[in-house]
Chain A
Amino acid sequence: MGAIGEGLRRVLELDRELWHIVALSLEVSLSAVVIATALGLPLGAVLAVKRFPGRRTIIVLLNALMGLPPVVVGLLIYLLLSRAGPLGELGLLFTPGAMIIAQSVLVLPIIAALARQALEDAWREYEEQLRSLGAREFAAAVTLIWDARFSLVTAVLAGLGRAAAEVGAVMIVGGNIDGVTRVMTTAIALETSKGDLPLALGLGFVLITLVLLLNAAAQLVKETAERRFG
């Protein structure tokens, strides 16, 4: 407990620098989750509603990609964005933009796979009714996403947890540059390797608190809404 208290005191001493790190962490992870949600929910809905050759292969692939090692994603994005890489001209390497791309890639399979599962369950319940009412596939998919919105919160939260917790990808493509691409997880890794354990611990405590607050807020919204709409 003493170490955490000491860590927290040190964290608060960092003030401006610390808040920059916290803000950047949130910015990167939330942006990645927004992008992955925008792509992942439609992808999950298509997989839930449409029957086409190769569908099962994609589902297996997506499920496997949920466990994608962040360092490997980081490495691949690094190769794509490095000066000699195919997207090198964009000059994104070692910027927050690169970190957002890497985390989006990491989070997308999680959100898409979990959304697919939730939407497929909803589809089983709704299919006959929606087809009877004359809903085509696109309209049905939109209806499903809206109607399963409370279960989809869980999928998005899982994605957010993954983004907030990972260190490997942002470390490689961001470079942990002080004041530019340093986020909470890379800062923790750095302080640990420097031997400043109390500060690392304090940062870790802040990170966990943030994730906890976000999840609690989302859960609260979900439960009140579920009670209201059944």
Chain B
Amino acid sequence: MAASILPLVLENVGYAPRGEPLIAGVSLEIAAGPSTIILGANGAGKSVLMRLMHGLLPPSSGRVRWSESDAASLRRRQAMVFQRPVMLRRSALANVIYAMKLANIRAGERESQALAALDEVGLRHLAHRPARVLSGGEQQRLALARAWALHPEVLFLDEPTANLDPAAVREIERIIKAFDAAGTKIVMATHNLGQARRLGDEVIYLQAGRVMERAPIASFFARPATAEAAAFMKGELPWV
């Protein structure tokens, strides 16, 4: 096994398409190990920050640096699950195999590993069903299986349970924990405090494109260091 692609280092990263700053002055080091939750209200810039980290958007200023310099290898060793899963017009199994093919996984190993990944997310019985006729929750689990089959070192998740019913949310959170247990670094954006607490080890609180605060999950929930984070939590849990 080659050296890890982590830590991921962001140096004063800004993103300002058409001069409008969506992310400004973000400096972070994302190390292997603890699950990192990127917390913030809608429009705080969580999704943009994840896309900058994952390399889907180029920073307007600053630098995004991994410990691995080869772009293709870097791409293969991280995965992202989006808020709305995008499935190809083919079977669930073929969707997983497609991703493995792009990751240069040997042809002989693809099918068995893909089936194992479907097993992991509880979709093996739907392996030959067209992916696009699956329910929203099943499609999101398929997106997780697609990531699982790639054995990524880092998994980015952008609000993976938005718009899903509680049963589907529980199932997806179980799978995310399995990733963590298998040694994959989790970086997840959410605005759901309960989910942050269930899945995270540390919180990065984002507001208006800036990192306001970074803290271990327990101390963040016990006593946020910034007034902004405290106000956000009060807003999310008005009965507290």
Contact = CB atoms under 8 A, between A and B. Distances in A.
Interface string B80-99: 10100010111000000011
Interface SS of B by simple majority: helix
Q: How large is the interface on A (under 10, 10 to 19, 20 to 34, 35 or more residues)?
A: 10 to 19
Interface residues of B, number: 22
Interface stretch (A46-54, A94-102, A131-139): A131-139
A132 B143 CA distance: 12
Given A132-B54, A134-B103, A230-B132, A147 B79 contact: no
Interface string B50-75: 01001010000000000000001001
B146 to A, nearest CB: 8
B56 A132 contact: yes
B3 interface: no
Contact of B82 (A128, A135, A139, A230): A128
A223 to B, nearest CB: 14
A154 B68 CA distance: 45
A154 to B, nearest CB: 15
Interface string A88-130: 0000000000000000000000000000000000000110110
Contacts of B72: 134
Contact of B79 (A132, A139, A149, A228): A132
Given A129-B82, A229-B132, A230-B133, A147 B89 contact: yes
Contact of B103 (A129, A133, A150): A133
A126 B131 CA distance: 14
Interface in B14-68: 51, 54, 56
B99 A133 contact: yes
B89 A134 contact: no
A230 B85 CA distance: 14
B102 interface: yes
B124 interface: no
Contacts of B51: 128
Nearest to A126: B86
B75 A134 contact: yes
A150 B80 CA distance: 28
27 contacts: A125-B86, A128-B56, A128-B86, A129-B82, A132-B54, A132-B56, A132-B79, A132-B80, A132-B82, A133-B79, A133-B98, A133-B99, A133-B102, A133-B146, A134-B72, A134-B75, A143-B88, A143-B98, A146-B89, A147-B89, A150-B89, A228-B130, A229-B132, A230-B89, A230-B130, A230-B131, A230-B133
Interface of B: 51, 54, 56, 72, 75-76, 79-80, 82, 86, 88-90, 98-99, 102-103, 130-133, 146
- 9 cross-chain pairs, A with B, having the tightest CB-CB distances, nearest first: A230-B132, A129-B86, A134-B75, A230-B133, A229-B130, A147-B89, A132-B80, A229-B89, A133-B102
Interface of A: 125-126, 128-129, 131-135, 139, 143, 146-147, 149-150, 228-230
